[in-house]
A and B are shown apart, each in its own frame.
Chain A
Amino acid sequence: MIDFFLILSVGMCVLVLFCLYRGTFGPGVLNRAAGISAIGTKTLIILLLMGVIYDRIDMFIDISMAYALLNFIGTVVLAKYIETTGEA
């Protein structure tokens, strides 16, 4: 069971690298914002899987909840800034 979670974590890390391509080369700042939001969601799941592998899930739940909060706020503030200055 632990080996299954380990292989899944490595697979999710490969998916994060693919999303990083859109975060770097996306034409314009909006594509980059969408890529970073996707990376944030995948990072949350990787954190919880790390907690299950090391058998200390009580510690990693608080960390992942705080990261979900900060990811949401970062995306909303960036969207408002782009809408106010008016450049794509």
Chain B
Amino acid sequence: MIRDSQDVIVKTLSRLLVPFMVIYALYVIMHGHHSPGGGFQGGVILAAGFVLLVVSHGLEQTRKRLSEKAAGVLSSIGVFIYAGIGALCLILGGNYLDYGKLSKLLPVVPAEARSLGILGVEIGVALAVMAVMFTIFLVIFTVGEFPEDDRSEK
């Protein structure tokens, strides 16, 4: 499951389609407030792009681009952004996640500050969801296969 697929057609089309999927995931994240989408859906589509990369090019090539350690760090960064924006609103004198108070920091009216605040929270959620989905996929599909066995087979 973790070796590459040795198939010219699937490899070539994965190289064509993965950047397109990443751009589409970013579009779904950014347009969360006036079309179906938002943080969770965009994060899942972003993780699906990386899953396609694992299935077509093998685990070693994908580890050079996004290792398990980097996925763990990314999920923590996503939660930190979410909680950080909430705590920032608390420090500036409102309730938790009260985005209107962000207008004291940025030179905008409170209505636009609410829109920017929810956008920042969606970005944090998307990063966390992508990292967790990728980690779950790797843990399930490499069960029972240790790196030592792979090296000894080569």
- Residues of A in contact with B (beta carbons under 8 Å apart): 58-59, 62-63, 65-66, 69-70, 73, 76-77, 80-81, 84
For the residues of B in contact with A, the DSSP-based class is helix
Expressed in whole angstroms, the Cα–Cα distance for A76 and B45 within the complex equals 15
Q: A59-B35, A59-B36, A66-B45 are in contact. Are A77 and B51 (CB under 8 A)?
A: yes
A80-B5 in contact (CB<8A): yes
For the residues of A in contact with B, the DSSP-based class is helix
Partner of B10, one of A62, A69, A76, A81: A76
Q: A76-B10, A77-B55 are in contact. Are A58 and B35 (CB under 8 A)?
A: yes
B21 contacts partner chain A, Cβ-Cβ < 8 Å: yes
Q: Which residues of A contact B36 (CB under 8 A)?
A: 59, 62-63
B41 contacts partner chain A, Cβ-Cβ < 8 Å: yes
B35-A65 in contact (CB<8A): no
B102 contacts partner chain A, Cβ-Cβ < 8 Å: no
B106 contacts partner chain A, Cβ-Cβ < 8 Å: no
In chain B, positions 10-63 with a C-beta closer than 8 Å to chain A are 10, 21, 24, 28, 31, 35-37, 41, 45, 48, 51-52, 55-56
